[in-house]
């Protein structure tokens, strides 16, 4: 699957005009960043980097794409000629996947000709904006769940390919598993699931359904007990599966109250090891409300795959520096109205206190040290077109999981607060 | 690309248990519907049907998928054997793409063995939920824009494949064109775009950038005039391109006020035919606020691809009827708590008044006529596994565009109101 057509028409018309003027070959720095976090959020989570690096390998224009561009007169012959041999040969440094970010964190710095950086813009932003929105929401859910496992189950609520990316982003932020088989196959994620209400309704009685499930999937399976009367459902489940019943799932009603009496009923019946999974329209707030309820695992769907109110991360990609005809670097920035930004190549370190806790995000337009403990946030992801493969595939996901966990641990405790508030550390911009 | 793995793990474990119990082969009806519209919306728009029908052709399990399922012990050998030959051989009737829908409209009725209907569940819902959410938001934007063209430009704000589906859904709801090249190529949509701020910043001066763009793309191009000072930008644009300048684009600031004086300035300079396109974070409300401003076209991004606050359509897919061992049909429905639904196969007509205006959505559990003017909403989409190809591809999109337009025209005028309110026509449920 070629990735080059996940691109806006204007990237190629700009390319055409810049090839004609000669400016297309000027070396440039583009910066991906977000001016703000979603309202009230304390931090964001970078995700999608691995997918982007994987997709760059397939970002070229084949016969089908070139024919389309020619037939539909999107660009002229000179531009087609350029695109025939297109390959990203530049360098990308930036925040590694799983890392936290704040307003104006320079998430990616892309250094290449204008032409190359321009052509990959839409694709790069699509991935970063989507995956980071999901990971940012997922991370808050994990914080709310404390040490209870969260399972991603939102595939049916979002585009079929977004679902795969969402499962991946959720796992990076700390989710234990996903229901999505394609995500399991593509990224080596654990997949989980047992049955739905339709399975119970298919059989003549709830007992017949439970018996069929236990016979086929074993006593360790999780039975969905709320198709009819929950109490009767729990009793039938225990009757059919005995004390080895793996779990029951509750998918409706007042979960806090229900989890309480279901736990008591299970214990009374001798099923001390049978776990309770809850799954009804959970978000980070509902999960927090269940903290004191005897719940063993959370299945999260809609709120996860839609970013819990913030389905996109509002990241932008701006030309911040480019060479002139003499080969000198010139910082550039849009000046007009409400979208002004800071020109120039960016660097970033996370300043820490003596106990290793984050104090500030320090962004600068030249290499800069705070003189305090600090950690460089800009890592090389692509060098002269060569992707660092350790950020891709299943290995990339596994590393991002660890990195996210470490990055969260480094934050002040307020990072985990659900209440609306300011970013948990300030972004300090050092110019020059 | 196989579509079968866009599936939740539990669809296949349910299948395994149902194959073992023998119930997997019971004939079943599954219904796709939504219990409610997003809060305050007057109607929803069905979209994704064509994509679903296209994807069914690739919904089978190849060697890679079967090996994954075996290696990861997702299902047993009997189930693998069944999946080896999987092909959807059932029938689907329902609302054609572009049609409006209301709470409890039976959008799709899937008739097949339980096994077949179960295995396609996740994929079917992913597509319907995503695409309908986008089309529903897009339709409101079109209503706000009155007869001014809307252009879809949101690719960078959503997953790269969602972007393609979103462009398609937007066009079905009335958008004129999209920026997304893949959507253009895949569905025969018109694509548009000229340049971004980076193109201006790349050149030594705004004038040099405009000159390069006009030289390469022609005087009919649209110049982006708000990189620096807007007034100076407009004057330079006219100076470079002359009276034939196709358009200027405004992407920041107070668009209502700005569009006013930019129009006056263009007219004063003799550029009566130069159009104004606005593109800064528009949604249906911002578009409505621009109604009296001299704007010629709207470019819509983030709000469109995220469903303007409602990124998913909350559609569910429920087993509503199935045969028992004697071959009799049994209506079934979940009873517990807050998710009760109505069992039985559904039929639906839209009741009209004598002037052809919609009066009610009449849903029934047996064929039913209101005795008034009415229109059958349930059309055959798949018959015994054979997809009606007229609903797919570019033809399917073109028909859906016309259908949506007609379906909107049929509604009372209140359908086009932006204010929060009740569904514009009631859903009447007729049982038996």
Domain ranges of chain B: 9-134+310-430, 147-309
Which residues of A fall within a CB distance of 8 Å from B302? 312, 314
| Distance (Å) from the alpha carbon of B161 to chain A's nearest alpha carbon | 6
% of chain A with per-residue pLDDT over 70: 99
State the Rg of chain A over Cα.
Answer: 25
Please give, rounded to a whole number of angstroms, the shortest distance from the CA of B168 to a CA of chain A.
13
CA dist., res. B380 & res. B399, Å (int): 15
For A147-158, the pLDDT digits (tens) are: 999 999 999 999
A195 → closest Cβ in B14, B162, B201:
B14
Pair B219, B200: CB distance under 8 Å: no
Task: Name beta bridge partners: B316.
Answer: B33
d(CA B4, CA B56): 9
Domains B9-134+310-430 and B147-309 share a fold: no
Stated pTM of the model:
0.98
Per-residue confidence in pLDDT tens, chain B, 432 aa: 799 999 999 999 999 999 999 999 999 999 999 999 998 999 999 999 999 999 999 999 999 999 999 999 999 999 999 999 999 999 999 999 999 999 999 999 999 999 999 999 999 999 999 999 999 999 999 999 999 999 999 999 999 999 999 999 999 999 999 999 999 999 999 999 999 999 999 999 999 999 999 999 999 999 999 999 999 999 999 999 999 999 999 999 999 999 999 999 999 999 999 999 999 899 999 999 999 999 999 999 999 999 999 999 999 999 999 999 999 999 999 886 555 578 999 999 999 999 999 999 999 999 999 999 999 999 999 999 999 999 999 999 999 999 999 999 999 999 999 999 999 999 999 986
C-alpha to C-alpha distance for A417 and A376, rounded to whole angstroms: 26
Query: What is the distance between the alpha carbons of residues A18 and A27, in angstroms, rounded to a whole number?
Result: 13
Q: What is the pLDDT of residue B336?
A: 60
pLDDT interval class at A335 (50, 70, 90): confident
What's the pLDDT at B342?
86
CA nearest to A167, candidates A54, A51, A246: A51
The CATH architecture that domain B147-309 belongs to is Alpha-Beta Barrel (3.20)
Closest chain B residue by Cα to residue A79: B216
| Chain B residues with CB-CB distance to A68 below 8 A | 181, 184-185
DSSP string, A346-384: -EEEEEE-TTS-EEEEEEESS----SSSEEE--EEEEET
Contact call for A181 and B7, based on CB within 8 A: yes
Listed in sequence order, the residues at least 6 apart from A163 whose beta carbon sits closer than 8 Å to its beta carbon are A154, A155, A156, A180, A182, A183, A305, B6, B126
**B214 to A21, A151, B263, B298: CA distances (angstroms):** 11, 54, 20, 22
Which residue in B26, B216, B227, B248 has the most chain A C-beta atoms within 10 A of its own C-beta, making it the best mutation to test that interface? Answer: B216
Q: Is B160 in Cβ contact with A198 (below 8 Å)? A: no
Give the residue among A328, A183, A311 at the shortest CA–CA distance from B303: A311
List of chain B residues whose C-beta atoms are within 8 Å of the C-beta of residue A197: 318-319, 334
Q: Which residues of B touch A228 (CB under 8 A)?
A: 334-336
Give CA–CA dist A412/A62, Å, rounded: 49
Instruction: Give chain A positions within 8 Å (CB) of B19.
Output: 216
What residues of chain A lie within 8 A of the CB of B3, using their CB? 160
Tell whether ipTM is more than 0.90.
yes
Q: What is the DSSP string of A50-118?
A: HHHHHHHTT----HHHHHHHHHTTSS-HHHHHHHHT----SEEEEPPTT-EE-TT---EEEEEEHHHHH
**A334 falls in which pLDDT band (50, 70, 90)?**
confident
The domain A194-295: what is its CATH number?
Answer: 3.20.20.70
| Cβ(A151)–Cβ(A176) below 8 Å | yes
Mean pLDDT of A98-127: 98
Enumerate the β-bridge partners of residue B18.
Answer: none
Mean per-residue pLDDT over chain B, rounded: 96
Alpha carbon separation from B298 to A231, B147, B174, B250, B276 (Å, rounded): 56, 11, 13, 10, 9
Most B CBs within 10 A among A131, A181, A281, hence the mutation to make, goes to: A181
| Per-residue pLDDT, A341 | 76
Could you give the 3-state DSSP secondary structure of residue A237?
Answer: helix
Position B339 scores a pLDDT of 58
Give the per-residue pLDDT at A306.
Answer: 98
Residue A259 has pLDDT above 90, yes or no: yes
Question: Is A132 in contact with A314 (CB distance < 8 Å)?
Answer: no
A-B C-beta contacts closer than 8 Å: 338
Instruction: For Cα atoms A173, A178, A182, give the angle at the middle one, nearest 5 degrees.
Output: 115
Position B1 scores a pLDDT of 76
pLDDT digits (tens, 9 = 90+) for A273-302: 999 999 989 999 999 999 999 999 999 999
**A335 in contact with B, Cβ within 8 Å:** yes
Residue of A nearest to B165 (CA): A159
Look at A162 and B159 and tell me if their CB atoms are within 8 Å.
yes
Query: What pLDDT, on the 0 to 100 scale, is given for residue B340?
Result: 59
State residue A336's pLDDT score. 60
| Average pLDDT of the segment spanning A359-365 | 97
Spell out which residues of chain A touch residue B130, defining contact as CB-CB under 8 Å: 158-160, 162
Contacts 24+ apart (CB under 8 A), B204-211: B204/A324, B206/B232, B206/B233, B206/B236, B207/B236, B207/B239, B207/B240, B208/A21, B210/B236, B210/B237, B210/B240, B210/B241, B211/A21, B211/B240
Alpha-helix residue ranges (DSSP H) falling in A189-319: 197-202, 206-217, 230-241, 255-268, 284-289, 302-305
Q: Tokens at residue A16, please?
A: 């055409």
Judge: A253–B180 Cβ closer than 8 Å, yes or no.
no
Cβ–Cβ under 8 Å, residues A218 and A195:
no
Strands A150-152 and A297-300: parallel
Residues of B in contact with A305 (CB under 8 A): 312
C-alpha neighbours within 13 Å on the C-beta side of residue A284: 25
A244: left (phi over 0), alpha (psi -120 to 50) or beta: alpha
Please state which CATH number belongs to domain B9-134+310-430.
Answer: 3.20.140.10
């Amino acid at each position: 699957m070629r990735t080059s057509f996940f691109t806006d028409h204007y990237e190629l018309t700009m390319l055409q005009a810049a090839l004609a003027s000669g400016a297309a070959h000027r070396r440039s720095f583009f910066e991906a960043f977000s001016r703000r976090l979603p309202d009230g959020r304390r931090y964001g989570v970078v995700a999608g980097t691995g997918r982007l690096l994987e997709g760059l390998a397939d970002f070229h224009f084949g016969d089908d794409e070139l024919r389309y561009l020619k037939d539909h007169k999107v660009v002229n012959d000179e531009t087609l000629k350029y695109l025939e041999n297109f390959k990203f040969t530049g360098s990308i440094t930036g925040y590694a996947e799983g890392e936290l970010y704040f307003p104006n964190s320079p998430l990616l710095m892309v250094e290449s000709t204008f032409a190359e950086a321009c052509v990959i813009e839409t694709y790069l932003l699509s991935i970063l904006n989507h995956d980071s929105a999901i990971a940012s929401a997922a991370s808050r859910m994990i914080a709310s769940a404390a040490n209870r496992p969260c399972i991603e189950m939102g595939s049916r609520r979002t585009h079929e390919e977004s679902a795969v990316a969402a499962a991946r982003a959720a796992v990076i932020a700390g989710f234990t598993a996903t229901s999505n088989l394609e995500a399991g196959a593509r990224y080596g994620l654990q997949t989980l699931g047992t049955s739905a209400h339709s399975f119970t309704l298919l059989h003549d009685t709830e007992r017949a359904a439970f018996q069929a499930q236990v016979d086929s999937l074993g006593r360790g399976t999780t039975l969905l007990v709320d198709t009819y009367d929950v109490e009767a459902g729990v009793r039938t489940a225990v009757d059919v599966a005995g004390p080895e019943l793996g779990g029951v799932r509750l998918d409706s009603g007042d979960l806090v109250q229900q989890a309480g009496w279901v736990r008591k009923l299970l214990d009374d019946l001798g099923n001390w090891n049978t776990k309770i999974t809850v799954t009804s329209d959970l978000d980070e707030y509902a999960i927090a409300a269940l903290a004191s309820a005897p719940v063993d695992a959370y299945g999260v769907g809609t709120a996860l795959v839609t970013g819990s109110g913030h389905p996109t991360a509002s990241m932008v990609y701006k030309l911040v520096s480019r060479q002139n005809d003499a080969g000198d670097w010139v910082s550039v920035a849009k000046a007009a109205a409400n979208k002004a930004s800071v020109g120039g190549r960016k660097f970033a370190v996370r300043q820490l206190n003596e106990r290793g806790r984050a104090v500030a995000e320090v962004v600068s337009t030249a290499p800069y040290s705070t003189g305090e403990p600090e950690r460089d946030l800009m890592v090389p992801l692509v060098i002269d077109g060569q992707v660092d493969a350790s950020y891709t595939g299943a290995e990339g996901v596994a590393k991002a999981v660890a990195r996210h966990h470490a990055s969260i641990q480094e934050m002040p405790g307020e990072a985990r607060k659900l209440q609306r508030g300011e970013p948990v550390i300030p972004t300090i911009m050092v110019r020059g």
